[in-house]
Amino acid sequence: MLTIESLTHLGMGRASDGRSLLPRVLPGEEVEVAQDGTVRIVTPSTDRVAASCRHYKSCGGCAMQHAKDEFVADWKLGIVQKAVQAHGLAPDFRAVATSPARSRRRAKLSGRRTKKGAMVGFHGRASHTLVAVPDCQLVTPAILAIQPALEALTVLACSRKGEIDLTVTDAALGPDVFVATDKDLTPQLRVELAAFANQHGLSRLVWNDEPVVTINPPTQDFGGTKVTPPPGAFLQATKHGETTLLQAVEEITAKANRVVDLFAGCGTFTLPIAKRAEVHAVEGEAEMLNALDRGWREGHQLRKVTTETRDLFRRPLEPDELRHFDAAVIDPPRAGAEAQIEALARSEIKTIAMVSCNPITFARDAKMLTDVGFSMPWVQTVDQFRWSPHVEVVAPFTRK
């Protein structure tokens, strides 16, 4: 018999034997582990609930459906608090904002042909086994509804023994589907795929980075401005999460007239801010900036937006370039943006809104800023990756 003492930041339970890490358990539970690794809950936690999804036991898409929402929120807040406090920082921590079920607007599914047709779904935890998920509680109804069509697409796109990736994004005028496969795109297959897209109401179908057909622009709404992201471009996981992050960024930069948006992507923050301030958007991927620029030019009542394609890891904006701005917004990848943060620390900029999907690198970068005189009064935790170990944060930095 083992007792679960705590959870890791990945949701694995640390057992009382000092070496076992067990999945889908909760602190305080007594468990037995069979020789095949199967975990049996002997004494369940009061925080344990029945999973809301019937696929939970076999699917590897979720890690925490066995716990109450309140427990998951507290656990994720604790991950952020621990990372920040490890650097000696003590801001206020706002309540966690959790996206609702069935709100994930992008899903990366796998497809495989079968004797009877095809199967589309997620892999089991740490497994190559594919699990169909027709009642998935994560993704939007539009993504659920298209799964039978994705099975038909798999028959067209997948070799007999291979497997394909299907990235599906919920767009206003129909799903946006990106197919990653080793099958060649022949002229005949192109005709069949175009007919398929029309039949199933897709807005766009892309094959290994090559657009096959665009029936309607797969637009996303960024603060009232329509943008058509390039295939596979970064997008916040849920509209709720995007809105929550944007509200915090707007609060932080409310008094700024000139804003620089670092790692701007397709304009998640740039375009809403441009309703009241001039914005310079900097991003390493030219295609995303082109989409942002087109959205701005077709938008209404927006202030001036300029764009710059630049690798901010190798060539961060330096203090003399940052002196033109009242505030900076920075939303780097998981690795953080140490070089750009260091340049911001040396600059004279007064206000920074930092968004991050990694509490560890966020805390490291936050420490660098506070060491040179910035204050960080609060941190907002956003859980748009419901039932997973992932978490996002946003915080203000104001130079004293």
399 and 252 in contact (C-beta within 8 Å)?
A: no
Integer angstrom CA distances of residue 365 from 64, 119, 237, 337: 28, 43, 23, 8
Place of tokens 């295609």: 287
Query: What b/e readout covers 335-351, taking b as 16+ CB neighbours within 10 angstroms?
Result: ebbeebbebbbebebbb
90 and 379 in contact (C-beta within 8 Å)?
A: no
First to last CA, the chain: 54
Q: What is the DSSP string of 21-67?
A: EESS--TT-EEEE-TTS-EEEEE--TTB---SSTTTTT-SS-S-TTB
Please list the active-site residues.
Answer: 357
Q: What sign does the dihedral 302-307-313-316 (CA atoms) show?
A: negative
Phi/psi class of residue 195: alpha, beta or left (left: φ > 0; alpha: ψ in -120 to 50)? alpha
What is the distance between the alpha carbons of residues 164 and 246, in angstroms, rounded to a whole number? 34
Q: Which amino acids are annotated as binding site for S-adenosyl-L-methionine, given as ranges?
A: 236, 263, 283, 331
Return the pLDDT at 160.
81
What is the distance between the alpha carbons of residues 265 and 368, in angstroms, rounded to a whole number? 24
Q: 211 Cβ partners below 8 Å, 6+ apart?
A: 204, 205, 231
381 and 393 in contact (C-beta within 8 Å)?
A: yes
Residue numbers in the chain where pLDDT is lower than 50: none
Which strand (E) or helix (H) includes residue 329?
strand 327-330
Indicate the CATH number for domain 73-100+234-398.
Answer: 3.40.50.150
What is the distance between the alpha carbons of residues 45 and 204, in angstroms, rounded to a whole number? 46
Q: Residue 327's closest CA among 260, 274, 249?
A: 260
Fold match between 73-100+234-398 and 106-169+172-214?
A: no
Opening angle at CA 72, ends 68 and 74, nearest 5? 115
What is the distance between the alpha carbons of residues 264 and 293, in angstroms, rounded to a whole number? 11
Q: Which amino acids are annotated as binding site, given as ranges?
A: 236, 263, 283, 331
Return the pLDDT at 162.
86
Return the pLDDT at 345.
97
355 DSSP β-pair partners: 394
Return the pLDDT at 60.
87
Return the pLDDT at 36.
85
State the CB neighbour count (10 A cutoff) for residue 240.
Answer: 19
Which strand (E) or helix (H) includes residue 321?
helix 319-322
CATH 1.10.10, applies to 2-48: no
What is the distance between the alpha carbons of residues 123 and 166, in angstroms, rounded to a whole number? 13
Place of tokens 């007239």: 257
Q: Residue 333's closest CA among 262, 385, 381, 228?
A: 262
**pLDDT, tens digit (0-9, with 9 covering 90-100), for 60-114:** 889 999 999 999 999 999 999 999 999 999 999 999 999 999 999 999 999 999 9
Q: What is the DSSP string of 59-107?
A: -SS-S-TTB-HHHHHHHHHHHHHHHHHTTT---EEPPPEEPPTT-B-EE
Indicate the CATH number for domain 106-169+172-214.
Answer: 2.40.50.1070
Return the pLDDT at 262.
98
Dihedral (Cα; 142, 143, 149, 152), 10-degree rounding: 180
What is the distance between the alpha carbons of residues 5 and 32, in angstroms, rounded to a whole number? 14
Domain boundaries, the chain: 2-48, 73-100+234-398, 106-169+172-214
Alpha helices per DSSP H over 94-204: 141-145, 147-157, 187-200
